[in-house]
């Protein structure tokens, strides 16, 4: 507890961020008060505006300012028949930065997790179902995380795609990082890369 009720509240509020505990939150609060008051006011205004105004794209569920995100607005992307399904908006950014994929996306904002009450509706799967029913997609790339939950989610999405007669369904490979050394790779990743090996070209 500090000498100020408001400061106590600020320290508590800062802890909503992952990885920020009481000690870090206290440090941040003092830093903002001591040195960055103007920037902190701007940050506060930005937070309010972002939380009120950033929406989900009606087509892919990525974050956007209007109804459609920047990617879905692009005529080239609209014509693509590839759909890459990811767990989070940051995954979209990662693919975009790799500059190697020019299709469409669908963002789940998580994975199936019945214990946490996250089912098909929470992941926007009725919207995905509608999108696939339009017949404009002929390839699904499953890019969920390589975890038990991510794989279960991928299987569920594959079953939706099959219902729409989309049979070109792939899952992104997991394996050895480029430029890495084999003895630094964990056993599961190495096993997966061996299992998913492909002909040498």
Strands 104-107 and 169-171: unpaired
C-alpha span between 167 and 1 (Å, rounded): 60
Q: Which stretch binds Zn ion (CB under 5 A): 23-31, 64-72, 124-132, 156-164?
A: 64-72
- Candidate residues 60, 84, 112, 132; the one interacting with Zn ion per rule CB under 5 A: 60
CB of 95 to Zn ion, least distance (A): 13
- Candidate residues 69, 83, 92, 154; the one interacting with Zn ion per rule CB under 5 A: 69
- Three-state helix/strand/coil letters over 115-178: HHCECCCCCCHHHHHHHHHCCCCCEEEEECCCCHHHHHHHHHHHHHHHHCCCCCEEECCCCCCC
- Candidate residues 11, 25, 57, 123; the one interacting with Zn ion per rule CB under 5 A: 57
Binding to Zn ion by residue 107, rule CB under 5 A?
Answer: no
**Token output for 73:** 């607005």
- Candidate residues 59, 131, 140, 141; the one interacting with Zn ion per rule CB under 5 A: 59
| Residue ranges binding Zn ion (CB under 5 A) | 57, 59-60, 62, 69, 72
């Amino acid at each position: 507890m500090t000498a100020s009720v408001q400061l106590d509240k600020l320290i508590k509020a800062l802890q909503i961020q992952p990885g920020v505990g009481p000690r870090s939150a206290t440090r941040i609060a003092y830093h903002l008060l001591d040195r960055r008051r103007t920037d902190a006011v701007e940050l506060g205004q930005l937070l309010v505006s972002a939380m009120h105004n950033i929406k989900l794209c009606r087509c892919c569920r990525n974050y956007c300012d209007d109804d459609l995100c920047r990617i879905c607005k692009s005529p080239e992307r609209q014509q693509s028949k590839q759909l890459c399904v990811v767990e989070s908006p940051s995954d979209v950014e990662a693919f975009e930065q790799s500059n190697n994929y020019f299709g469409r996306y669908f963002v789940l904002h998580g994975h199936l997790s019945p214990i946490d009450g996250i089912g098909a509706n929470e992941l926007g799967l009725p919207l995905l179902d509608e999108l696939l029913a339009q017949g404009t997609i002929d390839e699904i790339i499953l890019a969920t995380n390589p975890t038990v939950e991510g794989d279960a989610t991928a299987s569920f999405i594959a079953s939706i795609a099959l219902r729409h007669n989309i049979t070109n369904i792939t899952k992104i490979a997991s394996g050895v990082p480029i430029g890495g050394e084999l003895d630094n790779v964990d056993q599961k990743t190495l096993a997966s890369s061996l299992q998913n090996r492909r002909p040498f070209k």
